[in-house]
């Protein structure tokens, strides 16, 4: 898959928000390298896309060697790299009084260190093309959420990472921004609902738009931040939550 089309590297790109980002990027004329830890999902995602527009790279963002190998694959195969989207993630609610160090650290490792690892690896390639990074935070970075201490800590740190890289790398023409989605209908939230860890009805009733987002509605914001339409936006965390976090209509 080598051509002059703009190329996006999307972690967690085999499912949910990441896959929607891939679909949008391709619909607008780009090519995508989908990086995901789950081989079967990767094959399925690539197989469903128009031939020659995407390829999969098995990549675990918690493993530096795996991320560096993915970077080498991109550098060796693609003519360019225009965007990196860090959408790899998991959610594992646990009471804060019982969470283990290992479980807490895993969440930071995937979301924060994983994003940093991918940004660092991709930076030289993005610098060459004047590309952009979009990290994926969450409304969990804004509100305290019971039994989500590891997740809210990790998503809060994405904001600091995004702002710092934006300042450090902006001078070399690489922009770094983030989206903070509200509740989105994906495999991640489906599992939380199934397991009794998320009650979807109050989410809908507390969201002024009255529903969950579709993954493509988050992808629209990512596409904006990744492309030239946002060429002077840098270090911003764009909340895409249907009004959930600004709603004062609860009294």
Ligand X SMILES: NC(=O)c1ccc[n+]([C@@H]2O[C@H](COP(=O)([O-])OP(=O)(O)OC[C@H]3O[C@@H](n4cnc5c(N)ncnc54)[C@H](O)[C@@H]3O)[C@@H](O)[C@H]2O)c1
Active-site amino acid positions: 151
Confirm if 215 and 17 have CB atoms less than 8 A apart.
yes
Cα–Cα nearest to 188, from 91, 46, 78: 91
12: contact with ligand X by CB under 6 A: yes
Three-class SS of 37-77: CCHHHHHHHHHCCCCCCEEEEECCCCCHHHHHHHHHHHHHH
Taking the least distance from each CB to ligand X, the nearer of 61 and 126 is 61
Identified binder of ligand X from the candidate list 27, 72, 187, 228, rule CB under 6 A: 187
Query: Which residues, numbered 127-146, are part of the site for ligand X (CB under 6 A)?
Result: 136, 138
Q: Under the criterion CB under 6 A, does residue 16 sit at the interface with ligand X?
A: yes
**Closer to ligand X by Cβ: residue 1 or 198:** 198
Q: How far apart are CA 136 and CA 64, in angstroms?
A: 20
- The reply to whether 115 sits near ligand X by the rule CB under 6 A is no
Q: Where are the beta strands (DSSP E) in the chain?
A: 7-11, 31-36, 54-58, 83-86, 132-136, 175-181, 237-240
Q: Name residues contacting ligand X, limited to 29-68 (CB under 6 A).
A: 36-38, 41, 59-62
The answer to whether residue 177 forms part of the interface with ligand X (CB under 6 A) is no
For ligand X, the binding residues (CB under 6 A) are 11-12, 14-18, 36-38, 41, 59-62, 87-90, 110, 136, 138, 181, 183-184, 186-189
């Amino acid at each position: 898959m080598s051509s002059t089309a703009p190329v996006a590297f999307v972690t967690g790109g085999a499912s949910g928000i990441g896959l929607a980002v891939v679909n949008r990027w391709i619909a607008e004329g780009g090519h995508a390298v989908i990086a995901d830890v789950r081989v079967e999902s990767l094959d399925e995602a690539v197989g469903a896309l128009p031939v020659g527009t995407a390829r999969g790279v098995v990549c675990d963002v918690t493993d530096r060697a795996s991320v560096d190998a993915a970077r080498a694959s991109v550098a060796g195969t693609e003519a360019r790299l225009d965007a990196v989207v860090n959408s790899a993630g998991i959610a594992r609610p646990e009471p804060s009084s019982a969470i283990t160090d290992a479980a807490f650290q895993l969440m930071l490792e995937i979301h924060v260190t994983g994003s940093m690892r991918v940004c660092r690896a991709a930076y030289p390639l993005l610098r060459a093309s004047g590309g952009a990074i979009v990290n994926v935070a969450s409304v969990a970075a804004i509100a305290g959420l019971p039994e989500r201490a590891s997740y809210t800590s990790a998503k809060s740190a994405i904001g600091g990472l995004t702002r710092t890289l934006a300042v450090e790398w902006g001078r070399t023409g690489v922009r770094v921004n983030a989206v903070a989605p509200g509740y989105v209908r994906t495999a991640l939230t489906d599992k939380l609902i199934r397991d009794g860890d998320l009650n979807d009805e109050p989410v809908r009733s507390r969201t002024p738009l009255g529903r969950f987002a579709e993954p493509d509605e988050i992808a629209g914001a990512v596409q904006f931040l990744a492309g030239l339409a946002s060429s002077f936006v840098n270090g911003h965390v764009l909340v895409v939550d249907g009004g959930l976090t600004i709603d004062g209509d609860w009294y």
